[in-house]
Chain A
Amino acid sequence: EAQVTQNPRYLITVTGKKLTVTCSQNMNHEYMSWYRQDPGLGLRQIYYSMNVEVTDKGDVPEGYKVSRKEKRNFPLILESPSPNQTSLYFCASKAGREAFFGQGTRLTVV
């Protein structure tokens, strides 16, 4: 079954404690991206990757890092999380004009 898998689904953490949200896809897609969703703002793109070892900033990259060492994985790294990064995060992979989204990760930073 074609899918994008994010882990964890829910995470509560403290300010400053580094964390990684993993994202994996099984469709051999070259393109992957991360979004955050906040009330009244919709989904905003954080980073995207057109292929292995190729990443670029989206609209709201501050405070985030990504890596793309292999095609299937695209982890999102928060080196020093802050409360304003409390949000719902989605990973997506895309082939052509068809996007597949993960189930979402609800992150709370206290």
Chain B
Amino acid sequence: AQKVTQAQTEISVVEKEDVTLDCVYETRDTTYYLFWYKQPPSGELVFLIRRNSFDEQNEISGRYSWNFQKSTSSFNFTITASQVVDSAVYFCALDNDYKLSFGAGTTVTVRA
């Protein structure tokens, strides 16, 4: 069985603050993929990043960065200098061959 835990239900920040979203996962597989998705108020799922279990290199994309630590089974996501447009629900997910297992999601509210 696999499981993804996003312990933070809601985070509220003021614009320009940094915000870090935690994701902890459980799996018995040695090969797996981890994802982050953004769900803006309009409801669609927007793909942000995919990471395979053999690549622990941290990644930065603009204001977004990801910290993958296999030793602690964590795949955390940081938004630097947050903006109002970052307000959304963010999901972490773990992929085996036949399904994506999602965390419960973290609602991020960025106030102007």
Binding site for B on A (CB under 8 A): 31, 33, 35, 40-45, 48, 50, 56, 58, 88, 90, 92, 97-99, 101, 103-104, 106
Find chain B residues with CB under 8 A from A104 CB: 43-45
Q: In the bound complex, what is the Cα–Cα distance between A41 and B101 (angstroms)?
A: 11
- Contact count A vs B, C-beta below 8 Å: 48
Given contacts A33-B99, A97-B33, A103 and B104 within 8 Å (CB-CB): no
A88-B43, A99-B47, A103-B44 given. 4 additional CB < 8 A pairs?
A: A42-B91, A45-B101, A97-B33, A97-B95
Q: In the bound complex, what is the Cα–Cα distance between A58 and B1 (angstroms)?
A: 12
Count of chain B residues with a beta carbon within 8 Å of a chain A beta carbon: 22
Cross-chain contact B45 with A48 (CB below 8 angstroms): no
Of the candidates A44, A48, A98, A101, the one whose C-beta lies within 8 Å of that of B98 is A48
